[in-house]
Amino acid sequence: MSRPFTFWSFPRQEEGPVSTGKSFRVTLDHLLFAVMSLIWGVTWLATKLALASVPPIFFGAARYLLVAAVLLVAVRGVLGVLTGPLAGRVILSGVLVNVGTYALLYWGMQFVASGVAGVVNMSMNPVFLFGFAILLGQERASWRHLMALVLGIAGLVILFSGKASFTGSEIELWAAAAIVGASVSYSLGSVLSRPLLEKFTPFQLTAAQGVVAAIGMSILSLALEPVSGATFAAQMLPLPLAGLLFMVFFGTFIAYTIFLRLVREWGAPRAGLYSFVSPVVALILGAAVLGEPLTWREITGAAIMLAAAAIAIARRPPDVPAA
């Protein structure tokens, strides 16, 4: 039987790897990993530039309206996912993974540097993912998870301490809390999504959650933001439009497709190592393009938070059987 959505599917790697030495070989998957990490690092800059002209939730709604429109055509069975016996759980997961995540994240990014937002979000996700997985019985607690949480909090304190990263205004404190809240919402929604993948394909669930996001963020934007004809006109300006198209076609369709291939070939923990590469790209681009601060606080806080993420996703090596 043919796959329902072949546009997304990379063929398995058949060609030989490019050898660069005796102990390491660069394969197509390594190159794809680099492309994915670079794209997801650039998305923070693209979003920041777009948010300078359009309201944050409106931008998220526009993004997911485009994504949902494509996925509804390309992926079979989406409406069945949204109307079947598990519809309530699917909608809840979509609200958490997409609506709550990007409403909070995009709002917070108006007041926090794009590179800092990228570091906080990408490094806190693995920590909270394991935390909720432990609470819901999907993972076992260990000293690694406690250490990751402590380091993550320490990194946040350093990253947002002093005037190098913050001016100390109340709105910036709320923005920082919103970005952390976005990681909480995403992580809880992701953990709740895990059992649903036993019933639906990843693309069916992604498409259904995208539809939930398009509807939910549109309602939120109309309720909370001053949306008018001028808002739509602003979205069509060169920078906001370029940011939106980059997020949809590069950030979602290309990078996420690569991610799913790497999950298949490498497994989720190894594929998730982009969390250590993309924030570095975001910090460098934010400093180079937008003149965002890159002081010892940003560097030290980012390093500590990335270490927390590394500890959170590290796998305990298997026991060696006795001879």
Q: Specify which of 32-36, 126-130, 140-144, 236-240 reaches the highest per-range mean pLDDT.
A: 236-240
Kindly tell me if the per-residue pLDDT of 156 is higher than 80.
Answer: no
| pLDDT at residue 150, rounded to an integer | 75
Per-residue pLDDT of 161-207, as tens digits, reads 654 344 556 787 788 889 989 989 988 888 888 788 888 888 888 88
| pLDDT at residue 319, rounded to an integer | 41
Kindly tell me if the per-residue pLDDT of 42 is higher than 70.
Answer: yes
Give mean pLDDT, residues 97-114: 91
Query: Percent of the chain at pLDDT above 70?
Result: 77
Three-state SS string over the chain comes to CCCCCHHHCCCCCCCCCEECCCCCEECHHHHHHHHHHHHHHHHHHHHHHHHCCCCHHHHHHHHHHHHHHHHHHHCCCHHHHHHCCCHHHHHHHHHHHHHHHHHHHHHHHCCCCHHHHHHHHHHHHHHHHHHHHHHCCCCCCCHHHHHHHHHHHHHHHHHCCCCCCCCCCHHHHHHHHHHHHHHHHHHHHHHHHHHHHHCCCHHHHHHHHHHHHHHHHHHHHHHHCCCCHHHHHHHCCHHHHHHHHHHHHHHHHHHHHHHHHHHHHHCHHHHHHHHHCHHHHHHHHHHHHHCCCCCHHHHHHHHHHHHHHHHHHCCCCCCCCCC
